[in-house]
Chain A
Amino acid sequence: MQLKLEKKLQPSKIMLFATPILAVLLTMVLGAIIFSLLGYDGLGAVREIFLTPILNSLKWQDLAVKAAPLIIIGIGLSIGFRANVWNIGAEGQYIVGGLAATGVALLTHEMSGWWLLPLMAIAGMAGGMAWVFIPALLRTKLKVSEILTTLMLTYVAVQLLNFLIFGPWKSPTSYGQPQTVLFNDFQILPYIIKGTIVQAGAPIAVLIALIAWVLMSKSVFGFQVKTVGSAPNAARYGGFSENKTIWITLLIGGSLAGLAGMLEVAGPFNRMVPQFPTGYGFTAIIVAFLGRLHPIGVLVAGIVLAITFVGGEVAQTTIGLPNAAVGLFQAMMLFLLLAGDVLVRYNIKRVRRAS
Chain B
Amino acid sequence: MKLINRRNALKIGGAAAMLPLIGSNAFAKKDKVKAAFVLIGTPDDNGWNYGHDLGRQEMITALGADRVETTVVTNVAEGPDSERVFRELAQQGHDIIFGTSFGYGDAMLKVAKQFPDVKFEWATGYKTAPNLSIYNARFHEGRSVLGTIAGMMSKTGIGAYIGSFPIPEVVMGINAFHLAARKANPDFITKVVYIDSWNDPAKESDAARALVDQGVDVITQHTDGPAALQVAEERGIIGGFGQGADMSAFAPNAHLTSIIDIWSPYYIKAVKSLLDGNWKEGGSWEGLAGGEVVIGDYNSKVPANVIAAAEAVKAGIIDGSVHPFAGPITDNKGTLRVEAGDVIDDGEFWAVDWYAEGVEA
Contact = CB atoms under 8 A, between A and B. Distances in A.
Nearest to A268: B80
A223 interface: no
A314 B353 CA distance: 40
A178 B102 CA distance: 10
A270 B352 CA distance: 26
B168 A175 contact: yes
A313 interface: yes
B290 interface: no
Interface stretch (B17-25, B83-91, B177-185): B83-91
A173 interface: yes
B77 interface: yes
Interface string A174-214: 11111000000000000000000100000000000000000
A317 B74 contact: no
A173 B165 CA distance: 18
B206 interface: no
Interface string B95-124: 000000011001000000000000000000
A247 interface: no
Contacts of A270: 106
Given A65-B80, A322-B74, A178 B106 contact: no
Interface in B202-233: none
Contacts of A316: 73-74
Given A270-B106, A310-B84, A275 B126 contact: no
A282 interface: no
Interface in B66-93: 71, 73-81, 83-85, 88-89, 91-92
B79 A269 contact: yes
A138 interface: no
B255 to A, nearest CB: 29
Contacts of B5: 175
Contacts of B353: 176
A176 B92 CA distance: 34
Contacts of B171: 176
Interface in A49-72: 58, 62, 65
Contact of B350 (A65, A176, A264, A269): A176
Contacts of A173: 3
Nearest to A165: B165
B15 interface: no
A323 B72 CA distance: 11
A273 interface: yes
B361 to A, nearest CB: 12
B340 interface: no
B352 A176 contact: yes
A275 B79 contact: yes
B249 interface: no
Interface in B257-278: none
B126 A175 contact: yes
A25 to B, nearest CB: 26
A278 interface: yes
A178 B85 contact: no
B200 interface: no
B165 A274 contact: yes
A162 interface: yes
A340 B352 CA distance: 58
B166 A166 contact: yes
A329 to B, nearest CB: 15
A275 B88 contact: no
A132 B152 CA distance: 54
A39 B233 CA distance: 37
A271 interface: yes
A240 interface: no
Contact of B77 (A65, A162, A178, A275): A275
Contact of A268 (B71, B83, B91): B83
A133 interface: no
A55 B168 CA distance: 44
Contacts of B166: 166, 178
B304 interface: no
Contact of B196 (A65, A162, A273, A322): A162
B62 interface: no
A264 B80 CA distance: 9
Nearest to A324: B75
Query: Which of B71, B73, B79 has the largest number of chain A CB atoms within 10 A?
Result: B79
A174 B5 CA distance: 10
Nearest to B81: A278
Contacts of B71: 317
A166 B168 contact: no
A177 B71 CA distance: 29
Contact of B103 (A264, A275, A313): A275
A276 interface: yes
A323 B79 CA distance: 16
A6 to B, nearest CB: 43
Contact of A178 (B36, B76, B88, B167): B167
Contacts of B78: 273, 275
B222 to A, nearest CB: 15
A319 B150 CA distance: 46
B82 to A, nearest CB: 9
A177 B89 contact: no
Contacts of A176: 167-168, 171, 350-353
B84 A271 contact: no
24 contacts: A62-B84, A65-B80, A166-B165, A174-B126, A177-B102, A178-B165, A268-B83, A269-B80, A271-B106, A273-B103, A278-B80, A278-B81, A310-B84, A313-B84, A314-B88, A316-B73, A316-B74, A317-B73, A317-B85, A317-B88, A317-B92, A322-B75, A323-B74, A323-B76
Given A278-B77, A323-B74, 12 more contacts: A65-B80, A173-B3, A178-B167, A268-B83, A269-B106, A273-B79, A274-B103, A276-B79, A313-B73, A313-B85, A323-B75, A323-B76
